[in-house]
Structure 1
Amino acid sequence: MKSQAKTIALRGVSTAAIAFSAALISAPASAQIDEIVVTATKRSESVQSIPVAVTAFGSEELEKGRIQDLSEIADRTPSFSFQKADSTEQELIIRGIGTIRLDSASADPSVGLFIDEVYIGRRGTATPPVFDLQRVEVLRGPQGTLYGKNVVGGAVNLITARPEDTFGGALSASYGNYNAIQSDGYVTGPLANGIAGRLAFFQSSRDGYADNIMTGDELENLDQWGARGAVDVDFNERASLQLTGEWSYTENDGQSRYPVDAVSIDGPGTVRGFGGPATDDVRTSNHPFDLFEKTRTYGLTARFDYDMDWATLTYLSAWRYGNASDKFSQSGLASPPSLTDSIVGQYEEYSAYTQELRLTSNSSGPLNWIGGLYYYNETTNREDTNSASSFIFAGPGTTGDILDGTSIYTQSAKTQNLAAFGEVNYDVTDAFTLTAGLRYTVDDKELKNKVNCLDYGAPGAIFCVAPLGPAEDQFDIQTEDDWSELTPKFAAEWRATENVFAYASATRGFKGGGWQGKPANETAALLSYNPETAWTYEAGVKTDWADGRFRFNASVFKTDFSDLQVEVLDDTGLTLVVSNAADAKINGVELETVFQPVQQLQLFGTASFLDTEYENFIDSTGRDLSGNQINRTPEFSYTVGFDFEQPVNDTYMVGARATYSWQDEFFWLPENINFEDSYGLLNGRVSFGPQDGNWEVAIWGKNVTDELYRLGIIPFAGDEFSRYGAPATYGVELSARF
């Protein structure tokens, strides 16, 4: 099936290419693709003229696509996948590189998330909803030179909308199935001479996608709010100040998990063996527990720019805060019928300060440069509670002893990251440019970690659950370490023609080390894992043809990892353990195309092909995983879609838009046992309104084919306790501008 799906997809691409070529012959020259200007290289440049593999979405694209979540950005970006485990953990993976869980307060994500150039160190806990953005930029590959808190896998930049000098605003309201209500809007305009402001809000709520059939509670529901205020001050022609403050709140009544047999493992599985769930509906849970997820985020950012003619001085100062808590059932079942019920509670609090000072040359000559200093200070406090009980108990050392009890991990981590960075571009000729960059990073971390085993088993019990071990292995430790690294970048650009841009680059990325979040004993708690580093070698071409109506971009890359940080399932300790894979390699090809045959119609598509492998990888339990594919990474994925607008008379216009995103099967864990089948998601929108855009009414749908797919699994004893993605949703939306 996998090979057949690829063949069908490739035939579809070939057919589309033939149709594109035929349409190019008769298309009018006036239909051109809009240019998107990005700041991915810390300068304002066209996305088509920078030597970086970057996918960008403008405000109009975000609005028409109803993109309100990082998962929807991932669906439209080559080599980008996203899953959400719970309120404290979002899993961003680019080109096979990503941190699956952040159980440890000292852990770093491999893919960096930035809001107005400010690094967000904890995904989920400190990540606000996606609203009122000017654009989104997704940079693929290591960003070893210009980006604060250097990231090894890639960067997602959320650029918020700025105040405007003229008064205006917009409002939007939507109602859909599951009683989904969403509203958002903004107002902007001048506040005084040289001062403009903007105030935006976002609200979203819905009933649950799933139910707890024992308690009658809804699960997977949502109540979300967000607000952002911004003020821009132009002191004179040289000096400007940008101030931004934001707040968000998200809450629901918990996630639903449903056990299914792992088809790759022989046997009935533990839960199925004891009667299984009460229904065959995967959107149900069956337990007596009250669950929840809550997240709050706050942020303040100040940016000052001063034009000194020969260079621009930029000073960036920011504070971010977030706290998140949740409680979820790992199996979705009580005991019985489950052999054990396991309830996980998490609380995480994050605060961080960012300071960055940089100079950017304003030269019009062949030499351009940028250099700066960076400081980042982060504090993360985290508490993890795992409580389990079993209906089977027969004395110390038996199954009931092993599965019963409560463990509490309390962590506090402090991170200081300092860096000096610079990058130089030199125009050898008008068409050929060389780039060299270097960043020196120092990561200094401290960790306190304490574990208590409470009420484990019956009197005389000897084990503590998660991680499973002798009860006397409780500990209270404090440790610290620091790591430093040089990360260079080399690139060459060639503007072959006005519409053909080619580049080649070699970039090194670095991510600091850390400690286990749930170690089994004091020895394991004090033992740090190493930083991971990677060299990525990439070549790409960005082209525009047919008078700007057909765009085709392609990149090919090879990534070599050393000491890749990998989370593996420790069946003996019943927990996840971070190990350093000795080496790993990732090879890939990425394609992006946009075609506008006529002014009213735009067709677009992306595709990625990835070949991934762990090399010389012996995990912490002694298993040889060498040769396995890197987890959470499909070999092949693609997105296709269209955007159509057509006047119906001199006043009104109809619009239609659809996207279909498909991904190949992938393995959930490095062991390459549990896997997710391939699946595709279809989204669409049809609109009607005046041509001047003053108002619009639209009908929208997401996952309109009601595809069943999973956001994550917890494998245990032949079962996969699964969390499923949203079902088909649809609704009507009314928006207005003034």
Structure 2
Amino acid sequence: MKKLMQGTALALVMCAAGNSGAFAQEDDPAAQSQGGLDVITITSQRRETTVQDAGLAVTAISGENLENDRIMTFEDLADSVTSLSFTALSPLDQEFNIRGITNTRLDSPSADQSVGIFVDDVYVGRSGLFNFDMYDIERVEVVRGPQGVLLGRNVVGGAISIYTAAPSFDQGGSMAISIGNYDEVVARGHITGQLGNSDFAGRLSFQTHHRGGYNHDILHDRELDDLRSIQARAQLLYQPEDSNLSARFVLDYTDDESNGFHSVAIDGPNPATQGPWSAARDAIGVIRGRPLDIRESLPEHPLYAGDANETPQGLQREAWGAMLRVDYDYDFATLTAITGYRQGQAFNLYDQTGMGPNNGYGVISPTLFRFPVNEMEDITQFSQEIRLVSTGDGPLDWIVGGYYQSDDVSKYDRFWAEVPLPVLRTLSGESHWDNNAETTSYALFAQAGYQFNEIFRLVGGIRYTSDDKSGVVTGIAVEGGDQFNPTDLVALTPLAATYLEGDSFTTAYGRDWSEVTPQVTLEITPRDNLLFYATWSRGYKGGGFEDDPANPVAARAGYDPETVTNIEIGAKIDFFDNRARLNVAAFSMDYQDLQVTQTDDGCLCNITDNAADAEIRGIEAEFQFAPTDRVFVWAGATFLDTEYIDFIDSTGLDASGNQLQRTPEMQYNVGGELTLDAFGWANALAIRANYTYQGDMFWAPDNAQTEDGYGLLSGRVSLTPPNTPWSISVWGRNLTDEVYRTNIIAFFGDEVSRLGAPRTFGVELATDF
């Protein structure tokens, strides 16, 4: 890795020296006007700048390119952005990974995200209640590395910031409809313009998305991973002429539901034994006369105590949010106040194993248990940020501000299990957890930059963050035993060690933490279109408490915050008359008390530990090239070297020296777009393709289960006649129908897996007005 870092530094110097002729050409205004790469304006540093002028690692994707590549979800986004990957235990447990930093299965009501999600600068604390399609978007900014000063909520791994399209005083709108395989129909549109002759402009946006299931529940003859979704957004912009005041109000609503997701057991890596679920799948295949397809499963529906009927597997989510942003320009600075409010409810029920003893084919084995999980979540979040950003042309610039956030999260978990083997009777029965948590967080931050001359600029900032988390959790041993163990009174694990049927505990928990996180960046701009930067920064993520603790002691124990120190050097280089671009970064991150959650198959429960330390070293690069106005190519790559240091978890497992979980050592993506004349129209046909590859990775800290590397190919062909308001496109994702997994849980020799989307394709007709 040391040689790799040295090589990167050498490459940066060679790029600066070897392309001096190209930079000299860019001083010619006529040469610049002949064409070049787009430069996207971003606000990650809380003032308008461009990706190429920002001294940090950031990728920005315009709303147009989101549509061109059909990036609708966070999983789609991860296929297109350097150093970003995505896994998910369930639709409510989204796991975003930037440079090896991820919040694996950390979904308790008091948990913080490792990678922050922001919508119009408002932090979204529960990612599962915002994992909806992105539509009518201006841009998405993905910032890599800890952001310990300026972002509204201190994030340790990076941030995904989504900026919705704002109202315009010019009248206009759009409408698009897409039809695809799996009976998919997507309709979206917007309308915007001035409201009468007033100082107000409005914007209305909507999207409906209906799709059949990628997978099939053959026990109940139901599609799984289907989708029925509706989303809407209403906005009002107040912007009077000759005034220093502007205000924007956004109200959004989302509702989606499905039959839940598909779990399939795949035999684990030990060739000496086969897991009970994969063995049962083989036996059912023999009975049926054909093997079960990997996209077929037999999830069982639980019959909870007091219910007359089984509860079907399924997912329902509903959420709405409001944002008010007010800006006022003074002679020396701009005052910005952003108020955010979000509320949401979710119901999610899934069978973890994807099959149990009541599978309809009479296949039973001693350890073939079923274990449905039901999550119900209710959140309310309020946030307020106020910041003052300097204006003017002097060498000194500054930002000061404060931030406040209050979260109220209620989470109700129901576990239900049946197991034929009497020795494992602690896995049978029903248990509930009612967990209510309140989090209050506030921060004060300041940053100052000084431009010494045309070449050197130094930026320093500091943030003080305070988190106060408290709550009450009740664990209830509702029922012991099952149809195989009817007289057993031992509670379902993890309550089994202490409690019998009918027992319960209620306990309060609470702690507070605070941290100071500084950041210093040196920016060097030796000439136009060339930026070098070096950063030292710290990030912080608050501690928390377990989701479903085994007893009051475990409920009150919690886990500590984690911190990371990042040293990073980077370069941003435009050359060949602004037709080529290379952005590179090399970084070294040292973790203390890294929060790691994993499933213990002894208690079938999640356990969160603080790893003593972890180290991440890496290099990432992004390249764009437009040799002509008709040809555009791009590529990106990330190489990581990660290691747990002195990590022995609460079960006694020593993961020291192992690679970080869910973190591929290598990722890359390549793509291109070709514009052609067609049917007598100039530049009317656009052919676009993108291929992304993710290398091998380990699913857990023990490095026992792996995911082999895989690649996904996507493409789009669009016909847009000039001087017409319409276009028609044919699109496809995962065109090679690659089978890959977005999650696994290791149970008794099996890897119970969740699959990514198969090949999808369709046609879209769009019009502007």
| Shared fold, TM over 0.5 | yes
Mean Cα deviation higher: 664-673 or 469-478: 469-478
Report the Cα offset of residue 677 of structure 1.
Answer: 0.8
Taking the aligned partners of 2:107 and 2:573, their CA distance within structure 1 comes to 43
What does 1:597-608 correspond to in 2, within 5 Å? 597-608=627-638
Q: Offset of 1:288 from its aligned partner?
A: 4.1
Q: What is the rounded CA distance, in whole Å, between the counterparts of 2:194 and 2:270 in structure 1?
A: 62
* Contact kept in structure 2, 1:125 and 1:349, CA below 8 Å: no
Alignment of 1:691-706 (within 5 A): 691-692=722-723, 694-706=725-737
Query: Does residue 286 of structure 1 match 2:298?
Result: yes
- In structure 2, the partner of 1:220 is 225
| Equivalent residue runs for 1:305-320 within 5 Å | 305-320=327-342
Q: Which runs of structure 2 are paired with 1:319-468 in the superposition (5 Å)?
A: 319-335=341-357, 336-337=363-364, 339-393=368-422, 398-399=423-424, 401-457=425-481, 458-466=486-494, 468=496
Match among 242, 251, 261 for residue 255 of structure 1: 261
Could you say what the CA RMSD is over the residues aligned between the two structures, in angstroms? 2.2
Matched residue, 1:158: 162
1:567-582 matched pairs, under 5 angstroms: 567-582=597-612
Partner Cα separation in structure 2 for residue 40 and residue 467 of structure 1: 45
Q: Secondary structure at the match of 2:554?
A: helix
Alpha carbons 2:477, 2:495 under 8 Å: kept:
no
Query: Does residue 257 of structure 2 align to residue 245 of structure 1?
Result: no
Which residue identity does 1:700 align to in structure 2?
Answer: W
Give the aligned residue type for 1:262: G
| CA deviations over 1:19-73 (Å, ceiling 9, x no partner) | xx9xx99999723101100001011101101111000001111111111011111
Contact 1:468–1:574 (8 Å) recurs in 2 = no
Q: Tell me the CA shift for residue 237 of structure 1.
A: 2.8
Q: Is the 8 A contact 1:87 1:294 kept in 2?
A: no
| 3-state SS of paired residue (1:560) | strand
**Aligned to 1:84, what secondary structure does the other structure show?**
strand
1:264, distance to aligned residue in structure 2 (A): 4.7
Task: Output the amino acid matched with 1:320.
Answer: R
Equivalent residue, structure 1, for 2:719:
688
Alignment partner, residue 11 of structure 2? none
Q: Is the 8 A contact 1:144 1:508 kept in 2?
A: yes
> Contact (CA 8 Å) 1:87, 1:295: kept in 2 or not?
no
User: Aligned AA for 1:333?
Assistant: M
Letter in 1 for 2:144: R
- Pairing of 1:537-616 with structure 2 (within 5 A): 537-616=567-646
- Contact 1:331 1:341 (8 Å CA) reproduced: yes
Q: Check if 1:209 corresponds to 2:214.
A: yes
User: Given the alignment of the two structures, is residue 676 of structure 1 paired with residue 700 of structure 2, yes or no?
Assistant: no
Higher mean alpha-carbon deviation, 234-243 vs 408-417, is at 234-243
**Deviates further, 77-86 or 214-223:** 77-86
Q: Give how far 1:334 is off.
A: 2.1
Distance in 1 (CA, whole Å) between partners of 2:724 and 2:389 is: 38
1:200 maps to which residue?
Answer: 205
SS in 1 for 2:732: strand
Opposite residue 283 of structure 1, the aligned amino acid is R
In the alignment, which residue of structure 1 is the partner of 2:319? 297
TM-score by length of 2: 0.90
Preserved CA contact (<8 Å) 1:544 1:552: yes
1:346-377 CA-partner distances (Å, limit 9, x unpaired): 01111100111110000210000000011000
User: Aligned partners of 1:386 and 1:666: how far apart in 2?
Assistant: 30
Check conservation: 1:687, 1:699, Cα contact below 8 A. Answer: yes
Equivalent-residue separation in structure 2 for 1:689 and 1:331 (angstroms) = 48
Question: Match of 2:178?
Answer: 174
Q: Is the 8 A contact 2:536 2:566 kept in 1?
A: yes
Tell me the SS of whatever aligns to 1:529: coil
Give me the whole-angstrom Cα distance separating, in 1, the residues matched to 2:656 and 2:356: 38
Specify whether residues 212 and 460 from structure 1 end up closer, same or farther in structure 2 by C-alpha distance, changes over 3 A only: closer
Is the 8 Å Cα contact of residues 480 and 488 (structure 2) preserved in structure 1?
A: no
2:667 to 634, 637, 640: 637
1:465 alignment partner AA? T
Q: Which amino acid aligns with 1:654?
A: L
Q: Distance in 2 between matches of 1:686 and 1:215?
A: 39
Equivalent position of 1:471 in the other structure: 499
Q: Shift of residue 101 of structure 1?
A: 1.5
2:236 & 2:420 partners in 1: Cα distance?
Answer: 60
State the alpha-carbon separation in 2 of the partners of residues 693 and 544 from structure 1.
Answer: 34
Kept after mapping to 2: 8 A contact 1:468/1:572? no
What runs of 5+ residues in structure 2 fail to find an aligned partner? 1-14, 286-290, 302-311, 358-362
The verdict on how the C-alpha distance between 1:337 and 1:691 changes in structure 2, with shifts beyond 3 A counting, is farther
Equivalent in the alignment of 1:11: none
What is the one-letter code of the residue matched to 1:286?
Answer: L
Aligned to 1:653: 684
| Structure 2 CA distance for aligned equivalents of residues 494 and 690 of structure 1 | 44
Determine the C-alpha separation between the residues in 1 that align with 2:117 and 2:724. 33
Match of 1:108, SS?
coil
Aligned equivalents of 2:562 and 2:496: distance in 1? 28
Q: Deviations over 1:706-733 (max 9, x none)?
A: 0000111121000011111111011111
What code does the residue aligned with 2:560 have?
A: N
Residues 637-678 of structure 1: CA deviation (Å, up to 9, x unaligned)? 000001222233346611110000001011111111111110
Which structure 2 residues correspond to residues 709-720 of structure 1 after superposition, within 5 A? 709-720=740-751
Q: Tell me, in whole angstroms, the C-alpha distance in 2 between the residues paired with 1:595 and 1:460.
A: 68
- The one of 688, 695, 717 equivalent to 1:664 is 695
Per-residue CA deviations over 1:145-195 (Å, capped at 9, x if unaligned) read 001220100000000000111111111001111111001111111113321
Counterpart code for 1:321: Q
Determine helix, strand or coil for the equivalent of 1:696: strand
C-alpha deviation, 1:256, in angstroms? 1.0
Match of 2:764 in 1: 733
Aligned partner (choices 109, 128, 131) of residue 124 of structure 1: 128
Residues 125 and 322 in structure 1, CA contact (< 8 A), matched pair in contact too: yes
Unaligned runs of 5+ in 1: 1-16
Aligned-residue sequence identity (percent) comes to 38
Distance 2:729 2:254 in 1: 27
What's the CA shift for 1:85? 2.4
SS of the counterpart of 1:325?
strand
- Give 1:693 deviation, angstroms: 5.4
Give the whole-Å Cα distance in 2 for the aligned partners of 1:536 and 1:711: 28
**Aligned AA (1:461):** L
Partner Cα distance (1:693, 1:375) in 2: 48
Deviations 1:310-349 (A, max 9, x none): 0111111110111111110111112154610111100111
Matched, 1:268 2:274: yes
- Could you tell me how far apart the structure 1 residues matched to 2:545 and 2:297 are? 34
C-alpha distance in 2 between matches for 1:504 and 1:581: 28
Structure 1 residues 468 and 499, CA, compared in 2 at 3 Å: closer, same or farther? farther
Question: Which among 556, 562, 578 is matched to residue 532 of structure 1?
Answer: 562
1:536 and 1:667 map into 2 onto residues whose CA distance is: 23
Match of 1:5 in 2: none
Q: Does 1:502 align with 2:532?
A: yes
- Counterpart of 1:75 in structure 2 is 79
| C-alpha contact 2:402 2:444 (8 A) present in aligned 1 | yes
Q: Which moved more, 1:78-87 or 1:461-470?
A: 461-470
Q: Give the whole-Å Cα distance in 1 for the aligned partners of 2:317 and 2:768.
A: 31
- Aligned residue pairs total 716
Aligned counterparts of 2:323 and 2:667: Cα–Cα separation in 1: 36
In 2, the alpha carbon distance for the partners of 1:34 and 1:361 equals: 27
